[in-house]
Amino acid sequence: MSGEGGFDDAAYDRGMEELTKGDGEDNVITEWTEVHETFDTMNLHENLLRGIYAYGFEKPSAIQQRGIVPFAKGLDVIQQAQSGTGKTATFCAGILQSLNYELEECQALVLAPTRELAQQIENVMRALGDYLQVKCHACVGGTSVREDQRILQAGVHVVVGTPGRVYDMLRRRALKPDSIKIFSLDEADEMLSRGFKDQITTFSNCCRQSCKLAFSVRLCRRKRWKLLASL
């Protein structure tokens, strides 16, 4: 049965069951039972709540009711939901809750398959984090490499980008992975279908061992669920 906003609880649980079934792999929590019907019960920063309500949210969607808190608790997360259900705001809120705002270094890296989606994520991250004074920058193709370098070297909390430009910034040492504690992929299924597997693995390996992984997908075949879980 589908939840509010098109979030299919049954499909999510079936996907996670297939991911972990019968291969002798480490146990994975396949069903998150903690559900929050309001943002106020999620124990979020006051200024994050202000940003959420200022953005226009009144009540969390089904994916937000289940998905924000695991992000905020620092768990590795795979969330599945269709477009338009609020999944972008879900991982943005979870990331914003987890940052140390006194440390002006990249602490969260979010990758997206397209320039347009990366810029959309940046806009949501900035809006929700407005009262937290978050510093977020989008590294995407078609923009000035020199300007990216300048902004990253000046210090940001979150970097959102496409794999090619983000890899270039790592190669040029403008983006340093030392403080990254969250590595997130939006539309991870689309990124894998586009052949970004090797780059995703490279980014994951660059991050420190304690880095938390968060993947947002729309539809994901079992093979790709397993690949995401192996990162």
pLDDT of residue 218: 59
d(CA 204, CA 76): 13
d(CA 62, CA 3): 6
pLDDT of residue 69: 92
Closest CA to 43 of 5, 8, 81, 71: 71
Domain span at residue 194 reads 4-230
d(CA 84, CA 131): 24
Strands (E), 121-203: 136-139, 158-161, 182-186
pLDDT of residue 14: 53
> Tell me, what CATH number does 149's domain have?
3.40.50.300
pLDDT of residue 12: 43
Phi-psi sector, 34: left (phi>0), alpha (psi -120 to 50), beta:
beta
Count of domains observed in the chain: 1
- List the structure tokens of 170: 């790592």
How many CB atoms within 10 Å of residue 40?
A: 11
Query: Which stretch of DSSP H or E encloses residue 110?
Result: strand 108-111
pLDDT of residue 210: 64
d(CA 65, CA 88): 13
- List the structure tokens of 6: 């098109």
pLDDT of residue 29: 57
pLDDT of residue 2: 39
Q: Classify 3 as helix, strand or coil.
A: coil
Question: Within the chain, which residues score under 70 in pLDDT?
Answer: 1-31, 208-210, 217-231
